[in-house]
Amino acid sequence: MSKLKSIVAGFILLVLSQNVLADADLDQATQVVSDFQAELIDLMKQGEQLSFEQRSAQLRPVLIKTHNMVRMSRAVMGREWKNLSQEQKKQLITRLIDLSVASYAHHFSSFSGQSFTVKSAEKVRSQIYVKTFLVLPDDEDVSIDYLLKKKGDSWRIINILSKGVSDIALKRSEYVAILNKSGFDVLLAEIAVKIKNFSKD
pLDDT above 70: residue 17: no
Radius of gyration of the chain (CA): 20
Whether domain 3-198 has CATH 3.90.550.10 = no
pLDDT tens for each residue of 176-187: 999 999 999 999
Distance between first and last Cα of the chain: 72
Report the pLDDT value the prediction gives residue 19, as an integer from 0 to 100.
46
Neighbouring CB atoms inside 10 A of 56's CB total 21
Q: Cβ(81)–Cβ(72) under 8 Å?
A: no
Backbone phi, then psi, for 149, in 5-degree steps? Answer: -135, 145
pLDDT tens for each residue of 63-89: 999 999 999 999 999 999 999 999 999
Q: Cβ(128)–Cβ(25) under 8 Å?
A: yes
pLDDT above 50: residue 20: no
Q: Cβ(110)–Cβ(47) under 8 Å?
A: yes
Q: What is the mean pLDDT of residues 48-62?
A: 93
